[in-house]
A and B are shown apart, each in its own frame.
Chain A
Amino acid sequence: MCNAKRTGGLHRPEPVAVVWDERRRRPSAFIWRGRRYRVARTLELWIVETGWWNDETRVSRSYSRVEAEGRLFDLCYDRLTKTWSLERALN
């Protein structure tokens, strides 16, 4: 899970603050490790939602792969805990 190479140096998802553009329904910026990243564009969107039959396995998250400051980031919004995290920071 915490393959540091795959996650671009991240050892575990880290909490981030996200600025949400409601009109476009996209993150427009996020703050990670004290630095603000402006989202240039969103490349992919995907959703993971499964395990509903058991409260322990239940997952409901939506992911955005965004380009910010020339890097790729996978932002994750957990709908159950209503929190954002950074899952991966690529290249």
Chain B
Amino acid sequence: MSFVHLHLHTNFSFGDGACRIDEVVSRAAELGMPALAVTDHEGLYGAVRFYQACKAAGIKPIVGVELTVEPAVGRDGRPRPWGQVPGAAQPARPAGSPEAPPAAAPVTWPPPTGAWPPAAWKGAEGAMRSEGGPEGRRSQTEAAERPPEGPLVPAAPDPYGGGIAHLKGAATVPPAAARGAGGHHLVLLARDYAGWSDLCRIISAAHLEHPGEPPLARLATLAEYSGHLVALSACRRGEVWSRLLAGDPKGARAAASVFRDIFGRDFFIELQHELLPDSGAQLRALDLLAHELRLPTVATNDVHYTVKDDAPLHDVLAAEAANQPLPNPLGRKNAELYLKSPAQMWRLFGRRPEAFHAAAAIAERCDLDLGLGRLLFPAYPLPVGETAFSLLWKRCFAGAEQRYRPLTAEVTARLERELRVVEELGFAEYFLAVHDIVEFARSRGVYYSGRGSAGNSIVSYVLRVTDADPIEHGLLFERFLNPARREMPDVDIDFCSARRDEVIQYIYERFGHDKVAMVATVNTVRAPSAVRIVSRAFGFTPDETNQLSRKVPWGSAAKLGEMMDERPELAGHEFQQPHYRRLVHLGERLAGYPMHLGTHLGGFILSRDPLTDRVPLQWAAKGVVVAQFDKDDVETLGLVKMDILALKMHSAIAEAVRRIEARTGEHVEAWELPRDDPAVYELIRSARTVGLFQLESSGQRNLATRLQQRDFEDVIAAISLFRPGPLQADMIAPFIRRRHGLEPVVVPHPDMEPALRRTYGVIVYQEQVIEVAAKIAGFSLAEADLLRRTMTHERSMEEMDEIGRTFVEKAVARGVARSAAEEVFRQLRGFAAYGFNKAHAACFAIVCNASAWLKAHYPAEFYCGLLNNQPMGFYSPRVVLNDARRWGLEVLPVDVNRSGEWFEVESDGTALRVGLAYVKEMSGAARRAIVGGRGDGQDAAGGEGPSAPLVPAAPGDPSGPPRPYRSLADFVARTGVSREIAENLVRVGAFDALGVRREELLPQVPLLYAGTRPTGRRRGAGAAAGTAKRSPASSRETAASAVHPGLDQPRLVLDEQLGALDFLPSWTLEQRVRAELEFLGLNVSAHPLRFVRDQVCTLGVTPFAQLSQVKHGRHVRLAGVLERAQMPWIRSGHRTMFLTLEDETELAQVVVFNDVYLTYGRVLKSAIYLYVEGELQNDEEHGLAVVAHRIADLLAVLGRAGGRGAPAGAATQAPGRTSERSGALAGAPYHRPDAWELPEVHPQTRPGRTG
């Protein structure tokens, strides 16, 4: 008795399904089912994983979808002609003649001609479809295969082939209409690959044509792509059943007959026995309907959870999706929607054997082969007479001649060898496509650099995809492309983030808008979100929910219980109460559940055929078309994915280079700079590496003091060593000890020596694993790479031992002593999984070298680049600016007559002028108005912001003679900026140079704005949005008063007339710094610790700049601003935390070990200023750091706890502070404070003066 579940929701139904794919598949196999179907809502999100899981479990995967379809029956109860849109006016056609043949209906998807995406996708307006669609199914299919004619670029110059306009269009539609005027569910199953393609096309059309929630499939689309599908009438929300429930059996019959017309014998009435009170009656009604229309029936269980015990998970997810607390908003009364066994299903459907048996029969007819393992490369247009390979060959050798002078036999031999593999694997077109993209970037001067294992290839190097010479650095092609494994090559390229959109636009145009889409990411439930979801379901208040979830670390939800037991910061947590046990338990079971679909940062799919033949597409935020698959799924399907990433460092370097050329005329080729410049290595060794690519983190700065980099290889090593793998395998300590001769360099076998010489016998790189295995056991490099891959994955002891035996036998056969071979294997085994890809590090090292060179030789331009491309890097702009000051650059305050939109270099490269962009509330339009209004062409000097195009400013004439602002009133009148901006400029001293004190100007600002009405024009010039209300009258008025927008004439001379404010006391330096911190996020006039310098000195602290002169092992005291806290890894269960502190003189690194963290960790949550006592490490082995023994809030130590209730103005948001919670920071319980306050000193509490 065989039964197959054909209606099943995994947790990829996002809120309406709780089956874990692996669990439900193995349960089906356990129950002896020959096949299993997945039918998630509105997409194939989980389909690829499901397909793989089924294949692995040995059962047949059936892929389908439960889609929302427009109503088949109109309000008049008669079948609607297909292709008609609910709510759309259709005057010409006689409304709803049931006999209307489907072929006569206009069908506009896919678009026969014209722009991509088709007009029909443009949101709700697209609902008004053109009538000129081709007739009949056949011609449409042909049309679909024709490449789109006409302009490839959509009307709006939007790189994403659509743009946000669609979403805006959709937003204008009333929600009811967007909700499809009552679409109904329909289950569609793919019978074969053609059916898969049909599903992709139908789902894509439903999403792209109907961007509302939920998407809506048109009947016409179904009709067009119904040939390889099986349709089931779905659940109570299917049209047939819902009409029965609504007491409309006639309508139900009409709907069923529409689907019968579309799907013919492949349409089934679905029978679900949910064991609800009315189930018997419902089944009888459905049965009767099927009988009347002679439609076949099929039994399903609308599976939503694998086992009954998982029903609560489904309830919780449904509550979250409905944004309502339990009880279940869907009114679920029982827990019967689980994967029932064939016997259980028979018990429910024994009286309806035909429906029971139909399930297995349908499954029998479905046979989907996704053809995994094939690779689908994008087409590359070739000149006549060339093959992809011949063209690639020519381009590679042309590139090699430029890269290698003179071209050596070694180079040509390697190039030929690699090209042969590329040819064998059939990757030539792919490389041409990559080359095409980077050539475009190069031709436009867009900075980029390839990264990752592509750097192992000389082909990438000569095509200028990557910049590290693989021969010079001993990089192995086999690590990138293994001839023994035909695997999709993975090329990742970082582009200048300010100009990446140009590249993306080009990719869409070059490869076709219908053949490019972005890769999705699946955001999954982590510990804090699990707590939030369950708390909300339980009906806790938002406050309570936040309270509960806030302190939960960003770990796996599966460890929720464990965290409660172990993490010290959760020791007093509410969760410890038994009341929350149920919550914790449920939260744990939600671990890893997909929450929603996101867009990959830079992953693009490039396809040969229209993507919708293979992949379902939908809108993502920002109007981007995104696949329903993540990068793994895309790779599994064999589609080409390319990472077009955005890197701010490239923007910073590009800006620095541009500025250097503008000031000095020197042209810098950033990637071609010498790699042996002593100034670069001196800088790195000094550990003053703030701003350097990859070497600026506190960990790297500490490593620099230990490693003492001398050459480029050392930089590659440093980049590789401070990584999770090498850190976990503890490679740094032996590396450092051996480098400084503290322990001998030994290798088990002399043959290893060449490969490991540069790393002192320590296996750091994956390339070394390959080389050593090849040398010792006589593997080919390809075989050795396979061995490395094998050892990288988690293996059981037995498997590892087996691999080891083979390795040792092979080595012994070559004459290697058994003991040596065993030791070599032991080392490989220990490091294979932790080694770092040297090619990746080498690619990074080149960017690092450029950043270091720029900092060493053109610090002003370099810091400008950094500060104008925030947020980026490890430190806040405040610390970067302080670092610039420590580097000897003068920092000049904001000045309305001198500041550019961004930071500018002044005084021939010795000073930095704070840019207007840093002023709080400043908008791009206001910046441009201010700079443009001066007419001195300041903005053209290269101060091009991160992404701001140089648009002529609104008022003023940039080409005219300079017209500096003469007064505040003059400034306000000419720029028309908002009052907030004017006030903030005054507060940070931007008018100081005009000769009137800011203390006197500040009270004038309200007067200047007293006579103004917020107008549309001022809004355009940067007034704060929201205060401006457009009206016809005001826009007329502003046109008339373009010179003095909205200001009364007499007030123009206000500040000249009001001279009597000189009694106002001048701000203290402290007040000025406070204003700077608050309104710039920077300290320009002085460091915040300046104001407690004397008091801090009495504590006996060592200024950070002097730490390097203090002897190793000495007890020291530190006082500093907490800049960053990192908890990069947990070794042997013990947390080690790294704090970066800043004082007036330098940055310092503090190491906090587990026990100290447990005792003092709480201080880190609240304090900005820290006082640390500890032991100084200062030698070659340990580098420069302080191991904390005691940590305290500096303000408390100074005897002033009064800082908390600081004046309202003292709380500051520093710009560019994003809550980075990725990478090394993950797991850190600490957030950097966003609120600034100065360490306040009240005279009566000064320690020196108290008696």
Q: Select which of B279, B334, B538 is within 8 A of A48 by beta carbon.
A: B334
A49 at the interface (CB under 8 A from B): yes
Interface status of A47 (Cβ within 8 A of chain B): yes
Report chain B residues within 8 Å CB of A47: 275-276, 333-336
The interface residues of chain B lying within 8 Å CB-to-CB of A50 are 327-328, 332-335
Minimum CB–CB distance from A49 to chain B (whole Å) comes to: 4
> Chain A residues with Cβ under 8 A from B327's Cβ?
50-51, 57
Is A45 engaged at the interface, CB distance under 8 Å to the other chain? yes
Could you give, for residues 304-333 of chain B, a 1 whenever the CB lies within 8 Å of some chain A CB and a 0 otherwise?
A: 000000011001000000000011100011
- CB-CB contacts of B528-539 with A at 8 A, as 1s and 0s? 000000000110
**Within the complex, what minimum Cβ distance (angstroms) separates B825 from chain A?**
53
A48: min CB distance to chain B, Å: 5
**Set of chain A residues within 8 Å of B312, measured between Cβ atoms:** 52-53
Interface of A is mostly: strand
Contact A53 B582 (CB under 8 A): yes
Determine whether A43 belongs to the interface, using a CB cutoff of 8 Å to chain B: yes
| Contact (Cβ within 8 A) A44 B277 | yes
Q: Is the CB of B275 within 8 A of A45?
A: yes
Instruction: Kindly identify, within residues 555 to 613 of chain B, every residue whose CB is under 8 Å from any CB belonging to chain A.
Output: 582
Count chain A CB atoms within 10 A of each CB in B326, B334, B538 and give the residue with the most: B334
Let me know if A25 is at the binding interface, CB within 8 A. yes
Beta-carbon contact of A44 and B334 below 8 Å: no
Residues 333 to 386 of chain B near chain A (Cβ within 8 Å): 333-336, 347
Q: Give the docked Cα–Cα distance between A47 and B340 (Å).
A: 15
Q: How far is the CA of A40 from the CA of B326 in the complex (A)?
A: 40
* Contact A49–B277 (Cβ < 8 Å): no
Find out whether the CB atom of B538 lies under 8 angstroms from the CB atom of A44. no
- Interface membership of chain A positions 34-67, coded 1 if the CB is closer than 8 angstroms to chain B and 0 otherwise: 0000000001111111111100010000010000
The answer to the question of B280 belonging to the interface, with a C-beta cut-off of 8 Å to chain A, is yes
Q: Which residues of A contact B582 (CB under 8 A)?
A: 53
Chain A contacts for B275, CB-based, 8 A: 45-47
Q: Within the complex, what minimum Cβ distance (angstroms) separates A88 from chain B?
A: 11
Q: How far is the CA of A51 from the CA of B315 in the complex (A)?
A: 10
Return chain B residues, CB-CB under 8 Å to A49: 311, 333-336
A39 to chain B, nearest CB (A): 16
Given known A-B contacts A50-B328, A51-B327, A63 and B277 have beta carbons under 8 A apart: yes
- Write the nearest CB–CB distance from A32 to chain B, whole angstroms: 21
Closest to A43 in B: B280
Q: How far is the CA of A44 from the CA of B273 in the complex (A)?
A: 11
CB-based nearest A residue for B276 = A46
Q: Which of B280, B328, B333, B537 contacts A44 (CB 8 A)?
A: B280
Quick check: B279 and A46 within 8 Å, CB to CB? yes
> B347, A25: Cβ atoms under 8 Å?
yes
A41 to B: closest C-beta gap in Å: 12
Chain B residues near A48 (CB, 8 Å)?
Answer: 333-334
Query: Could you tell me the distance between the alpha carbons of A18 and B999 in the complex, rounded to whole angstroms?
Result: 91
Query: In the complex, A25 Cα to B538 Cα: how many Å?
Result: 36
CB neighbours (8 Å) of B276 from chain A are 46-47
Q: Closest approach, in angstroms, between the C-beta of B18 and any C-beta of chain A? A: 14
B273: shortest Cβ distance to chain A, in Å? 9
- What residue of chain A has the Cβ atom nearest to residue B582's Cβ? A53
| Contact-size category for B | 20 to 34
Q: Collect the chain A residues with CB atoms within 8 Å of residue B347's CB.
A: 25
Q: Give min CB distance, A46 to chain B, whole Å.
A: 5
The residue of chain A having its C-beta at the shortest distance from the C-beta of B539 within the complex is: A53
CB closest chain-B residue, reference A55: B582
Q: How far is the CB of B586 from chain A (nearest CB, A)?
A: 9
| Chain A contacts for B277, CB-based, 8 A | 44, 46, 63
Complex CA distance for A49 and B327, rounded to whole angstroms:
12
Task: Please provide the chain B residues from 487 to 544 with a CB less than 8 Å away from any CB of chain A in the complex.
Answer: 537-538
Cβ-defined contact, A53 with B333, below 8 A: no
Please state if A53 and B326 are interface contacts (CB–CB under 8 Å).
Answer: yes
**Interfacial chain B residues near A52, Cβ < 8 Å:** 311-312, 315
Q: Enumerate chain A residues within 8 angstroms of B326, measured Cβ to Cβ.
A: 53
Q: What chain B residues lie within 8 Å of A63 (beta carbons)? A: 277
CA of A53 to CA of B276 in the docked complex: distance in angstroms? 21
Q: Which residues of A contact B315 (CB under 8 A)?
A: 52-53
Interface string of B980-1023 (1 = CB under 8 A from A): 00000000000000000000000000000000000000000000
Give the CA-CA distance A50 to B336 in the complex, in Å: 11
Q: Which residues of A contact B332 (CB under 8 A)?
A: 50
B335 in contact with A53 (CB, 8 Å): no
Q: Name the A residues within 8 Å of B538 (CB-CB).
A: 53
Q: Provide the B239-280 mask, 1 if CB < 8 A to any CB of A, else 0.
A: 000000000000000000000000000000000000111011
B499 to chain A, nearest CB (A): 53
Question: What is the bound-complex CA distance between A30 and B334, given in angstroms?
Answer: 25
Tell me the bound Cα distance from A52 to B328 in angstroms: 11
**Chain A residues in 8 Å Cβ range of B311:** 49, 52
Complex: chain B residue closest to A57, CB-CB: B327
User: In the complex the two chains form, what is the Cα distance from A44 to B276 in whole Å?
Assistant: 9
Shortest A75–chain B CB gap in Å is 13
**B668: min CB distance to chain A, Å:** 65
What are the interface flags for B275-288 relative to A under an 8 Å C-beta threshold, 1 for contact and 0 otherwise?
A: 11101100000000
The docked-state distance in angstroms from the alpha carbon of A83 to that of B413 is 85
Among residues of A, the one whose C-beta sits closest to the C-beta of B348 is A45
Closest to B534 in A: A53
Closest B residue, CB atoms, query A51:
B327
- Measured in the bound complex, the distance between the Cα atoms of B276 and A63 in whole Å is 10
The residue among A46, A49, A53, A63 with the most chain B CB atoms within 10 A of its own CB is A53
- Output the least CB separation between A7 and chain B (Å): 14
Nearest-CB residue, chain A, relative to B328: A50
Docked complex Cα distance between A63 and B280 (Å):
13
Question: Which residue of chain A is the closest to B347 with respect to CB atoms?
Answer: A25
Residues of A within 8 A of B336 (CB): 47, 49
Task: Report the minimal beta-carbon distance from A54 to chain B, rounded to whole angstroms.
Answer: 9
Closest residue to B319 on the A side, CB-wise? A53
Q: CA A13 – CA B311 in complex, angstroms?
A: 28
Shortest Cβ distance from B308 into A: residue: A49
- What is the distance, in angstroms, from B352's C-beta to the closest C-beta of chain A? 14
Bound-complex Cα distance A48 to B334 (A): 5
Binary B-proximity of A11-45 (CB < 8 A = 1, otherwise 0) = 00000000000000100000000000000000111
Question: Once the chains are docked, how many angstroms separate the CA of A44 from the CA of B336?
Answer: 15
CA distance A46 to B334 in the complex (A): 9
Q: How far is the CA of A27 from the CA of B523 in the complex (A)?
A: 49
A51 to B327, CA, bound (A): 7
The residue on A at minimum CB distance from B325 is A53
Nearest-neighbor residue (CB-CB) of B332 within chain A? A50
Q: How far is the CA of A47 from the CA of B275 in the complex (A)?
A: 6
Bound-complex Cα distance A43 to B1165 (A) = 64
Complex Cα spacing A51 to B332, Å = 10
**A43, A49, A51, A57: most-surrounded residue (chain B CB, <10 A):** A49
In the bound assembly, the distance between CA atoms of A46 and B333 in angstroms comes to 10
How many Å from the CB of A23 to the closest CB on chain B? 12
A22 vs B369: C-alpha distance in the bound complex, in angstroms?
Answer: 44
Residues in A whose Cβ lies below 8 Å from that of B335: 47, 49-50
Q: In the complex the two chains form, what is the Cα distance from A52 to B333 in whole Å?
A: 11
**Shortest Cβ distance from B515 into chain A, in angstroms?**
49
CA distance A47 to B278 in the complex (A): 11
Nearest CB on B from A58, distance (A): 11
Closest to A62 in B: B275
Residues of B within 8 A of A43 (CB): 280
For the complex of A and B, list the 3 residue pairs with the smallest distance between their C-beta atoms, beginning with the closest. Answer: A49-B334, A44-B280, A47-B334
Interface residues of B (CB under 8 A from A): 275-277, 279-280, 311-312, 315, 326-328, 332-336, 347, 537-538, 582
Q: List 30 A-B contacts (CB under 8 A).
A: A25-B347, A43-B280, A44-B277, A44-B280, A45-B275, A45-B279, A45-B280, A46-B277, A47-B275, A47-B276, A47-B333, A47-B336, A48-B333, A48-B334, A49-B333, A49-B334, A49-B335, A49-B336, A50-B332, A50-B333, A50-B334, A51-B327, A52-B311, A52-B312, A52-B315, A53-B315, A53-B537, A53-B538, A53-B582, A63-B277
Q: Given contact pairs A48-B333, A48-B334, A49-B334, enumerate 5 new A-B contacts (beta carbons under 8 Å).
A: A25-B347, A43-B280, A46-B276, A52-B311, A53-B537
